[in-house]
Amino acid sequence: MKSKILVIVTGIVFLGMGAFLLWGPGESPSDHQETAVEGDLENQPVMGEEEAPVEVVEFGDYKCPACKSWSETVFPILKENYINSGEVSFTYINTLFHGEESELAALASEAVWDRYPESFWSFHEIVFQNQPSQQSHDQEWITPETLGEMAEQMDEGPEAGELIEDIEQKTYREQVKVDETLVDENNIQFTPSILINGTLIEDPFDWEAIQTAIENGLEENA
């Protein structure tokens, strides 16, 4: 059945490639081959079985249009076919390539993860859903107030005022610094950066490459 996914995802790959415009300060994906996940991933948001044989890590930025595209096209396929089955764990690391707005979103996500971990992935999805079209991307759309409004879109989670207070007081700044350290230690140059068992996928929208890396990891751990 999984081989049929390649047919479905072909159009998605081209769509994602068109949106994959923001590499961050430096190189393009073709300049990268492999790397090891450096640093401690403990206390990071994880979806799926933590002891799954294959670990997928995304270094992403809520302000990044390509990350939004990846979350809406590739990630659902990954979740349906590997995370839900317990074969893959998925970890998200904040990457602050777009300045203050990236930091505000990261502070909010860390607050939700700490206080309402069961609501984290809903909030994660809602932030990307609220990202405007690429044509309006440079307009300010992430503020403490808008993040509070996003939190209220969830069935469960923080009250808007509670989240705004955490953001404005930078309650979770140390946790965001941990993510920044992981970005530096792993020499992350573009978002989204997808690592599978320590190997950086050259093109994060190449589902065939992602699937191959996962299947290889499953075989190695069989």
How many other CB atoms are there within 10 angstroms of residue 20's CB atom?
22
Report the DSSP pairing between strands 193-196 and 199-200.
antiparallel
pLDDT for residue 135 = 59
Burial label, 89 (beta-carbon count in 10 A; 0-12, 13-18, 19+): buried
- Calpha distance 220→139 (Å, rounded): 46
Question: Would you state the structure tokens that stand for residue 192, as one six-digit string?
Answer: 């989204």
pLDDT for residue 48 = 97
CA 87, chain centre distance (Å): 18
- Three-state DSSP at 108 gives helix
- Calpha distance 188→72 (Å, rounded): 22
Quick one: which of 1, 59, 17, 68 has its CA closest to 207? 17
pLDDT for residue 30 = 38
Dihedral, 175, 184, 121, 193 alpha carbons, nearest 10: 180
pLDDT for residue 134 = 67
pTM for this one?
0.85
Q: Domains (ranges, CATH) in the chain? A: 2-22+32-202 (3.40.30.10)
| pLDDT tens column, 133-188 | 865 667 889 999 999 999 999 999 999 999 999 999 999 999 999 999 999 999 99
pLDDT for residue 136 = 63
* Low pLDDT (below 50) residues in the chain: 1-23, 25-36
User: The dihedral of CA 133, 169, 121, 195: what is its sign?
Assistant: positive
